[in-house]
């Protein structure tokens, strides 16, 4: 690496066609990973069969396929892969937004207490039986997440607002809800339930079906649209809140919209797949290393890389231990952390 290249983003000042080519390449890679995710599994399915099954369903083609294969592709694996992509994109996007808004490189989607609230909501339904069977686990987790976010926001606003107050309030909220979760689990759960809770907390894509995708994908897309619309406002936060305001950004409104969008995205994903860690914290940094800090490029890059990363992590979680599926949160951290260490090392600042 030459001296000039150290610390410089890999593709920061590319021409527009270079960026377009990069985005296209990322989309192709994502599509390829999704088809791999559909093909790999206990019953291997050739890529051609996958393509035919998808064509049958979407374009009404009539390829001859075994009903079992078509069912596996369409009902189980494709929905699962698409959900992995949606949640990866949404979490990475939330992380990128929060890191800019709070001006803190350690900010991540769970900094607002959302995952802690979701887990409390989930165990309240799973173990205490809240909602009398009407509330699903996901609905309980979503309500818990929203409740935690509202509490944390109120506390942050009461403490005078500001990035550091929001982070501190988030820490307090997370601790509170984590303690509640532990309290419920230790006092009320049997061994079987406790194990189930632990699996849920580490994140799992098992049991994902199309209705989950119909919720997650639009949420991720809408979140992406909102984020890109505010990309320049996020850039303006580079030198802090006052600097952003002096550049004409309506900071309170932008903050409310973006915090709300990240909270909704995160709450939706956490309630469906559990609190998958690491993605929201680290993918934005990886993306920044590739395309630089300008949000017009960073946000799409984070979303795409997050989606690719999560689909890949899902594949790995299914094949790394034979006959067993690892929680996806374990895989994201186990493989993401060393990869991130390499990025940190490569991007080190010349002292």
Partner 1 sequence: MSISVRDVHWSAGGAMIVDGINIEVAPGRTLGLLGPNGSGKSSLLRLICRLRNVKSGVVSLGNTDIAAMSRLDIARRVAFVEQQATTDAQVTVLDVVRLGRTPHRGPLSPWSSADDAAVHAALCHVGMPGRAGQLWHTLSGGERQRVHIARALAQTPSELLLDEPTNHLDIQHQLEILGLVARLPVTSIVALHDLNLAAMFCDSLAVLHRGKVVAAGAPEDILTERLMADVFGVRAHIERSAYHGRCHVQYRID
Distance of alpha carbon 199 from alpha carbon 274, whole angstroms:
9
Indicate the residue among 152 and 283 with the shorter CB distance to partner 1.
283
Residue 240 CA to chain centroid, in angstroms? 26
| Rounded least distance, CB 86 to partner 1, Å | 24
Distance, CA of 63 to CA of 273 (rounded, Å): 33
Chain positions 12 to 31 lying near partner 1, rule: CB under 8 A, are: 12-13
Q: Give CA–CA dist 174/270, Å, rounded.
A: 14
> In 210-229, which positions are buried (b, 16+ CB within 10 angstroms) versus exposed (e)?
eebbebbbebbeebbebbbe
Distances (CA, A) of 145 to 23, 170, 177, 225, 334: 33, 12, 10, 22, 26
Quick one: 12 or 28, whose CB is closer to partner 1? Answer: 12
| Residue 7 touching partner 1 (CB under 8 A) | yes
> Using an 8 Å Cβ cutoff, are 115 and 266 in contact?
yes
Smallest separation (angstroms) from partner 1 to the CB of 250: 5
Q: Give least dist CB 239 to partner 1, A.
A: 4
Nearer to partner 1, 135 or 347 (CB): 347
Nearer to partner 1, 80 or 295 (CB): 295
Per-position b or e across 69-97, b if 16+ CB within 10 A of its CB: bbebbbebbbbbbbbbbbbbbbbbbbbbb
Residue number with CB closer to partner 1 (225 or 337): 225
Q: Which stretch binds partner 1 (CB under 8 A): 2-10, 78-86, 113-121, 190-198?
A: 2-10
Residues 208-247 that bind partner 1 (CB under 8 A): 229-233, 235-236, 238-240, 242-243, 245-247
Binders of partner 1 among 259-298, rule CB under 8 A? Answer: 288, 292-294
Using the contact rule CB under 8 A, the part of the chain among 8-16, 23-31, 150-158, 319-327 near partner 1 is 8-16
* Among the listed residues 318, 298, 300, the one whose alpha carbon sits nearest the alpha carbon of residue 99: 298
Question: Please, which residue, 3 or 321, has the CB nearer to partner 1?
Answer: 3
Q: Does residue 325 contact residue 201 with C-beta atoms inside 8 Å?
A: no
Q: How many residues bind partner 1 (CB under 8 A)?
A: 30
Nearer to partner 1, 170 or 292 (CB): 292
Residues that bind partner 1 (CB under 8 A): 7-9, 12-13, 103, 105, 229-233, 235-236, 238-240, 242-243, 245-250, 288, 292-294, 349
């Amino acid at each position: 690496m030459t001296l000039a290249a150290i610390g410089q983003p890999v593709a920061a000042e590319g021409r527009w066609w270079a960026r377009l080519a990069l985005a296209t390449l990322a989309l192709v890679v994502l599509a390829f990973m999704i088809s791999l995710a559909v093909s790999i599994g206990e019953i291997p399915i050739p890529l051609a069969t996958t393509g035919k099954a998808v064509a049958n369903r979407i374009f009404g083609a009539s390829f001859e396929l075994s009903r079992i294969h078509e069912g596996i592709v369409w009902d189980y694996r494709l929905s699962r892969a698409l959900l992995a992509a949606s949640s990866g994109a949404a979490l990475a996007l939330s992380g990128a937004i929060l890191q800019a808004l709070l001006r803190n490189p350690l900010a991540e989607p769970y900094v607002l207490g959302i995952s802690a609230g979701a887990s409390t909501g989930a165990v309240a339904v799973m173990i205490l039986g809240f909602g009398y069977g009407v509330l699903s686990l996901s609905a309980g987790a979503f309500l818990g997440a929203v409740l935690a976010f509202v509490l944390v926001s109120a506390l942050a606003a009461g403490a005078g607002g500001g990035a550091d107050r929001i982070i501190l309030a988030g820490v307090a909220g997370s601790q509170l809800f984590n303690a509640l979760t532990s309290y419920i689990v230790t006092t009320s759960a049997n061994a079987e339930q406790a194990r189930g809770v632990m699996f849920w907390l580490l994140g799992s894509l098992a049991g994902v079906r199309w209705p989950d995708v119909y919720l997650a994908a639009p949420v991720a897309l809408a979140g992406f649209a909102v984020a890109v619309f505010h990309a320049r406002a996020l850039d303006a936060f580079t030198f802090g809140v006052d600097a952003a305001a002096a550049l004409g950004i309506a900071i309170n409104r932008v903050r409310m919209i973006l915090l709300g969008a990240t909270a909704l995205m995160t709450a939706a994903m956490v309630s469906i797949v559990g609190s998958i860690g690491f993605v929201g914290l680290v993918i934005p940094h990886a993306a920044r290393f590739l395309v630089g800090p300008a949000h017009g490029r960073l946000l799409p890059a984070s979303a795409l890389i997050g989606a690719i990363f999560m689909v890949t992590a899902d594949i790995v979680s299914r094949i790394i231990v034979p006959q067993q599926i690892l929680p996806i949160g374990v895989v994201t951290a186990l493989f993401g952390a060393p990869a991130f260490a390499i990025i940190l090392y490569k991007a080190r600042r010349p002292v």
